[in-house]
Structure 1
């Protein structure tokens, strides 16, 4: 019999649990940002399932980076619309 691989969503939860000590050591404001990043990764669970990467943290981090880049691009657009004084 082959080895059974845990579902991607369960692997994500395991990674979150493994990082719980790291999270606790962060400042309160940084803990909130960490939680936002984890939520961002969870929003992209379908992409992670399809990635078939050997380490689920890779697709989680990529999802976080994609969402962060989208936010940066949106902020840049807003800044270009602000009139100069």
Structure 2
């Protein structure tokens, strides 16, 4: 018996292809941010595989949000160490 759904990594690539027109319509600077977000989602592919969500975009977006929140938290830590004037 074969697989009934495509592997998660293949589904991620399909989503990326489906959003190619969206990406192309973004400003150049926003395209770079978009590309960073896609790379972030790909870094968390193992978590997406385990999530077993019917829509892989959900786990991709959650992965992007997690990484973004980590960066924000790190920046907050740095800012708290800067003395007030």
Query: Number of aligned pairs?
Result: 85
Give ranges in structure 2 of 5+ residues lacking alignment: none
- Displacement, 1:28? 0.2
CA shift digits 1:9-66 (9 cap, x unpaired): 0000000000000000000000000000000000000000000000000000000000
Report the Cα distance in structure 1 between the residues aligned to 2:3 and 2:39, rounded to whole angstroms.
29
Give ranges in structure 1 of 5+ residues lacking alignment: none
Report the Cα distance in structure 1 between the residues aligned to 2:41 and 2:68, rounded to whole angstroms.
11
Report the Cα distance in structure 1 between the residues aligned to 2:56 and 2:30, rounded to whole angstroms.
23
Root-mean-square deviation over aligned CA pairs? 1.2
CA shift digits 1:57-76 (9 cap, x unpaired): 00000000000000000000
- Displacement, 1:84? 1.1
Q: Normalising by structure 1, what TM-score?
A: 0.96
